Amino acid sequence: MKKICCFATVLLCMSFVVCNSASAQKNPDREYYKIVIYHYKTADQEKQLDQYLENALLPALHRQKVADVGVFKPLANDTAADKQLYMFMPFKSLKDMAGVDADVKNDKSYQAAGTSYINAVYDNPPYTRLETIIIYAFSMAPKMQLPQLKAAANERVYELRSYESATEKIFANKVHMFNEGGEVPLFKRLNFNAVFYGEVVAGSKMPNLMYMTTFENMADRDAHWKSFGEDAEWKQLSAKPEYQKNVQHIDIIFLRPTTYSDF
């Protein structure tokens, strides 16, 4: 039954992409991304998650040829009641995503290394809740890119943004603005070191898109966004009548990579 439900979920996501992404046939090499957000409260839960991810899940994903797995914690965790941990995984296709998930669960080394997490009891769980987001890469940014940064990992700032739109049609307009409109090339020209851009095909805040840019530190981040806001090309693009009011809400999360993150 679990396999049937998993397969049904994959088919639903595939159907969404076929129906809503006009450029899907034009660029079959677009990747899919899976973001898992672990919510937790205590230092013990954080320790359990770190041990599980570093010693069990990431090695298992690497054995399945899933490279460039990112694991991040929000800068706001120190003062937040609802602490979070973000895990980013790239896949070639939805079929690949589902296959890797099944193979990891059957990996005996994974089962041995992750036994305390896998077999956690109900009154001592390693998290309070988790959520999963599935993203389909933009046509103008079909594959993730590793950030080219020189700063130490504990100084870097990774900025994850989610743009929500009022309706599916308006959302498609914002996606068009990033792709055909030229917003993605603009970010590239201004050296925002973007890891990915994509439209969410399964998540709790749809219709929305998400993307991640990276910086040496917070001062570098602020300088980049200042130059973006002052750029003549952006001013011209953002003033176009066809791109007005296509974003209803923005969430911005500042992240820092863990010591065991791949990037």
According to DSSP, the residues that pair with 250 across neighbouring strands are 163
- The residue extents of the domains of the chain are 27-257
Q: Rounded to 5 degrees, what are φ and ψ at 192? A: -85, 0
Name which of 47, 24, 3, 39 is nearest 172 in CA terms: 24
Q: State the number of CA atoms in the 13 A half-sphere of 180 facing the CB.
A: 9
First to last CA, the chain: 36
Assigned CATH topology for domain 27-257: Alpha-Beta Plaits (3.30.70)
The pLDDT tens digits of the residues spanning 136-171 come to 999 999 999 999 999 999 999 999 999 999 999 999
**What are the tens digits of pLDDT across the range 169-213?**
999 999 999 999 999 999 999 999 999 999 999 999 999 999 999
Write the DSSP assignment of 39-102 as a string of letters: EE-SHHHHHHHHHHIIIIIHHHHHHTT----EEEEEGGGGT-SSEEEEEEEEES-HHHHHHHHH
